[in-house]
Amino acid sequence: MPCSEAGCSLRLTRADTGDRVIAGRGTACLGRLVMTCTLHVAWDDRLAGYDFGVGHPMPPVRLELTIELARALGLFAAAGVSVERPAPATDAELGLVHSRPYIAAVRQAAGPEPSAPAREFGLGTVDNPVFAGMHDASALIVGATLAAARAVWAGTAQHGASIAGGLHHAMPASASGFCVYNDPAIAISWLLAAGAERVACTSTRRRRFPEPGCRQKRAGRGPGDLR
């Protein structure tokens, strides 16, 4: 899996011969990870607490299995890879994109029957049912994405990974499409404030509908949007 930067690569090699190996179904993995670039992974087991409940199409087990696979392949033990526990995003950081009333509504919405004001903010719907600790779990995801972005911006890592993130459907004052807080938009806003001139936000999944979160323009940013 090569990186996009020259001289930076991540590959699986056989420990005995050094030959490059692609381990498929039923193939024994006899390799080790050799990494010539640096990667900051923002991970905490508590990130799996972003859980809309049984039957929801975005279960946290997808994250747990991804981390389990990465550990089994030896990724986290590879030279140049650091795994660090992120801090939750503060209200001020969430406020880079989201309104104060919305943040307050997310914090207060914790039961199976949200209040009418919570529904006004897109909470308690089929896509975004409320759950206990929703604010804390959502803020931790934003904190992870911010940590990854800051590591790259500061130059302590060439790449950053926040596998629990990418919740780009959330709007400034409303939850949407399984997303409570828009961690990519918040990280982009932080990078712009830190001095970045342009930031690209892309989605690698096939879509059949618009991506409102990443296209949400923010006042005062001029002609550019958060894509």
**Helices 100-108 & 134-154 angle (0-180, nearest 10):** 130
> Is residue 169 flagged as an active site residue?
yes
Q: Given 40, 135, 159, 169, which residue is catalytic? A: 169
CB atoms within 10 A of CB 49: 18
Task: Measure the CA–CA gap between 190 and 153, rounded to whole angstroms.
Answer: 10
Cα angle 26, 30, 33 (rounded to 5 degrees) comes to 115
Query: E-assigned strands of the chain?
Result: 10-14, 31-35, 39-42, 81-84, 159-161
- As annotated, the active-site residues are 169
